[in-house]
Structure 1
Amino acid sequence: MSKTVVKFGGSNLKCKEDIGRVIQVVKNYQQPVVIVVSAFFGVTNYLIESLEKARHDEQVATKTKEFLFNLKRETLELHIEDSGLVTSILSEIGELLDELGKLLQGIALTGDASKALEDHVLAYGERISAVFLTGILNNHGIESKVAFPESIGLITDGEFGNASVDFVKSTNIVRESLSGDFVYVIPGFYGLSADGKTTLLGRGGSDYSAAAIARCIGASSLDIWKDVDGFLSGDPKIVDKPIQIQKLTYDEAAELAYFGAKILHPRTVEPLSDPHIPIRIFNIYGVLNVQEPLSVVSAEKIVSKGIIKSVTYSDDFGILKIKGSGVGGKPGILAKVTTALLKANINISSVLTAQTSINILIFKKDLSTAYAVVSVIDPPIAGRLQIVEDITVIAAVGNGIAENFGVAARIFTALAKNEINVMMSCSGASLIVSYFLVGINDRTRAVKAIHHEFFETIPAHTEL
């Protein structure tokens, strides 16, 4: 029988009480599962800060070890009465922290760290979580083993910081490594290059780790436990009475994640869509029934009554604009710019062109670098460069958007009624999403207006 892969994130590991819920969830499956775990809440950010400080302060190694060692000690003692077992777990965590400390001391001595070393350091948060959770599960009668990616053969393409799993090299060995009749606890977020180096799977990449492992073992499902009620029709911090989305396709989930929904990492669906392994979303603070997911992502295509299933937004994008008479019609300009951005390892999310303007949508964190590399193209490109940062990208997602007339008209009418200007828009790049740019100060009103138009006249019992 196929196993279930279960993902617990940092939001599931915030406090002592959360561990009790995790224990109960694992018991409720009533069979061995494969668990993928993130770092404790806030630990990855702490390690990033430690990496930077270690370049200038040799005391950081000791401080980091002490902080991480004591972080969950009280939680261990609360959930494990056997002092000998507590000592054993802390000893194993201590060994990991000794390794981490030596790495940070090396950075302090040299004042620098390679990308390979940075990846190796940042993976320790997940390693510690896995050892911690394995010990607690064993104490509660759930036979469990830690399975580090390096020991199960989770091989990547070797790209530091944002690697992808090599399924040709990984699948057979991972499947064999996880074939035992007990619970495996795997640290997410990283894999191993073919030459044995730690490579991170992108920030927030534990979801992708879990999806990759689910594919390798042919899992019955990937179950992701969150601290929210699955996919919703809108951000509950912004819209009134968002509607729960019970069923989505892989593409719908991917687009929602890409444009800002925080339920999944955008790459989570990549490994699962071809083998049709469903993703099931649960709330760790809700009813812990493993048979009743709040949202299911699968190949099943359902067109909702209002076409749009959810409206989401992201403040993470900005525009590199090239302005000038006829720039949109001059051959070679876009090719030069995209080549320069590729060499700088900057991803282009979208390009919108006109006769007098080329607008390149990229992540805000890359805008300054993008401006710099395009500025020094030789020979210089025609046109004036401009950075636009104060924008929000808003996306309406749902199967049927491209095939049904009037959807875009309803969106623009809702925005016009609220006197919200649309700076740019794009439909057709994907058959299931229409997105547009507004000023960041209009973001909340825009999301509210579209949600009201498509959802707030729908009866509360309507299924999406």
Structure 2
Amino acid sequence: MMVVKIGGSIQKDENDYQLIIEKIRKYAERDKLILVTSAIKGVTNDLIQVAASTEKSVEIASNIYDKHIKLLGKITDGIEFERAFRDISKLADELFRVAWSIRVLGEVTPRTRDYILSFGERMAVITLSSILRSKGIKAWGIPEPPFITDSNFGDSNILIQESEERLKKLLSNVDYNVIVFPGFIGTTWDGKITTLGRGGSDYSATSIAKVLGINKVKLITEVPGIMTGDPRKFQNAKSIQRLSLEEAIELAQLGAKRLHPRTFDPMFNSDITVEVESLYEDGSTVINGECTNEDSVKGVATLDQLKMLSVESTKIVGKIGSASSIMAEARDVGVNLIAISQPASETTINLVVDGNSIKLLTERLNGLKESLIKNIHVEDVSAISVVGCGMRKREISSKLMGIASSYDPIMISRGLSKVSSTFIVDSRNAEELGRELHSEVLKWTR
């Protein structure tokens, strides 16, 4: 058996679905499949607008319904169209009721927002399974959430052991070669729908494999695997043939493929192999195992539009809890700290955050100027990370560190198991440094 995740970016139109049908047909000839589907392209963003735009919520919900029905009308017909039309209409009625409630109440709780977002994947399950059956593939859709999760709405965690009974119950008495589940969503013990965060369908796929003891997972998307760098920034970027688990986690965290950061958690202490491949072109990346002596450096990831906020004061020197007090301010206003540094003198604390968060954090920290902080400085910065098990080898890491040092990095840090190094630099130097590091990485990448 194999788990196959179908990304939302490759579910745009009938041409995409023809390619998906061909790929699934080929896989189903060799294995029974569990398909995990994202919402079709654009629907999750539309549902976010349903939750946010109280005046237009009903209109947007109607457009989502029309999008699915029009797609089904182009690819399916007869009994398959009728069944899918009926089932999607039922879900649409639920969505309309919620949209009307939002319009009346003018507010949305995190729990309601997750419920709204779940409609994208649930409708996609009905759409995809119907399309596959209409093309002669024995497929069955199960639109119910496949997992038990905690109640952290918006970014819930899958409870692997607790989900085993639920998944096996959903699969009992289902005798089909292809079974379609929704990604991205789960349910609490008491039946409240939760979401796993953007990109959660990747996390769903590996978690299903873990729960059911399946060792093959394919993530089908629009790009040919994980690449040595963003091809929009590095024209000579190429697909990486293999990544160790540590390397993949670092690249996922740094946004190389915008994979969910917990995608690879279920792979620990297992024999699961994940392959990321494209629907449209050749090329893929296999992810499994640990670092080997043959591994070198694999890729460069960049994060732009960042801000570094530097807090300076002699009042924080030697004062227990001063750093945690400053970071608690970021936590309390919901600002994620991307990178943190402090010299041994303790006179400065540097916090790197997303550029959209800097105003909120600065305003909050200004409130500590009388008691703890003397000065606050803000700089435009970027993060350039080199990832690969080869970073453990002195001859490689010293070469790359030497290149980065010529750009006067503000901050340097090592990642998980020392398989990455991240350089925080002035944003004006980021593009040139990224290109130089990527060119060097390509010399070692096979």
Matches of 1:316 and 1:4, distance apart in 2: 39
Deviation at residue 116 of structure 1 after TM alignment = 0.6
Residue 375 (structure 2) aligns with: 384
Letter in 1 for 2:375: R
Residue 77 (structure 1) aligns with: 73
Q: Deviations over 1:133-157 (max 9, x none)?
A: 011111112222222344x4x1111
Matches of 1:373 and 1:238, distance apart in 2: 35
Letter in 1 for 2:418: L
Matches of 1:105 and 1:323, distance apart in 2: 50
Residue 432 (structure 1) aligns with: 419
Please tell me whether the aligned partners of residues 155 and 195 of structure 2 are also in contact (alpha carbons under 8 angstroms): yes
Matches of 1:157 and 1:379, distance apart in 2: 41
Matches of 1:240 and 1:380, distance apart in 2: 50
CA separation of 1:308 and 1:369: change in aligned 2, threshold 3 A: same
Deviates more, 1:124-133 or 1:278-287: 278-287
Matches of 2:416 and 2:37, distance apart in 1: 34
Q: Summarize the alignment of residues 306-325 of structure 1 with structure 2, pairs less than 5 Å apart.
A: 307-315=296-304, 317-325=306-314
Matches of 1:196 and 1:372, distance apart in 2: 40
CA separation of 1:20 and 1:172: change in aligned 2, threshold 3 A: same
Deviation at residue 227 of structure 1 after TM alignment = 1.2
Residue 396 (structure 1) aligns with: 386
- 127, 131, 146: which one aligns with 1:132: 127
Residue 276 (structure 2) aligns with: 281
Letter in 1 for 2:440: E
Residue 43 (structure 1) aligns with: 43
- What is the TM-score with the length of structure 2 in the denominator? 0.91
Q: Deviations over 1:159-218 (max 9, x none)?
A: 011100011211233134335432221111111112221111012211112222121111
Residue 102 (structure 1) aligns with: 97
CA separation of 1:380 and 1:48: change in aligned 2, threshold 3 A: farther
Letter in 1 for 2:289: A
Matches of 1:173 and 1:119, distance apart in 2: 20
Deviation at residue 85 of structure 1 after TM alignment = 2.5
Deviation at residue 365 of structure 1 after TM alignment = 4.2
Task: State the identity as a percent.
Answer: 28
Please tell me whether the aligned partners of residues 123 and 143 of structure 2 are also in contact (alpha carbons under 8 angstroms): no
- 6, 13, 16: which one aligns with 1:15: 13
Deviation at residue 108 of structure 1 after TM alignment = 0.9
Deviation at residue 415 of structure 1 after TM alignment = 4.5
Matching of residue 68 in structure 1 with residue 68 in structure 2: no
Residue 357 (structure 1) aligns with: 348
Matching of residue 156 in structure 1 with residue 149 in structure 2: yes
Letter in 2 for 1:395: S
Q: Summarize the alignment of residues 220-239 of structure 1 with structure 2, pairs less than 5 Å apart.
A: 220-239=215-234
Matches of 2:167 and 2:352, distance apart in 1: 38
Matches of 2:208 and 2:125, distance apart in 1: 15
Matches of 1:400 and 1:79, distance apart in 2: 48
Runs of 4+ in 1 over 6 A off after TM superposition: none
- 285, 290, 302: which one aligns with 2:292: 302
- 164, 167, 187: which one aligns with 2:160: 167
Residue 440 (structure 2) aligns with: 453
Letter in 2 for 1:362: V
Aligned residue-pair number: 440
Deviation at residue 344 of structure 1 after TM alignment = 4.2
Partner-residue secondary structure (3-state), 1:315:
strand
Deviation at residue 335 of structure 1 after TM alignment = 1.9
CA separation of 1:119 and 1:380: change in aligned 2, threshold 3 A: farther
Deviation at residue 428 of structure 1 after TM alignment = 6.1
Please tell me whether the aligned partners of residues 48 and 117 of structure 2 are also in contact (alpha carbons under 8 angstroms): yes
- What is the TM-score with the length of structure 1 in the denominator? 0.87
Q: Deviations over 1:298-329 (max 9, x none)?
A: 11423456x32111112264333212236354
Letter in 1 for 2:60: T
Q: Deviations over 1:356-386 (max 9, x none)?
A: 3101233444434433444446983233334
Matches of 1:328 and 1:178, distance apart in 2: 59
Q: For structure 2, which runs of at least 5 residues remain unmatched after alignment?
A: none
Letter in 2 for 1:452: S
Matching of residue 24 in structure 1 with residue 15 in structure 2: no
Letter in 1 for 2:26: N
Please tell me whether the aligned partners of residues 393 and 436 of structure 1 are also in contact (alpha carbons under 8 angstroms): yes
Letter in 2 for 1:33: L
Matches of 1:157 and 1:97, distance apart in 2: 27
CA separation of 1:72 and 1:429: change in aligned 2, threshold 3 A: closer
Matching of residue 331 in structure 1 with residue 320 in structure 2: yes
Matches of 2:270 and 2:359, distance apart in 1: 40
Letter in 2 for 1:181: D
Residue 181 (structure 1) aligns with: 175
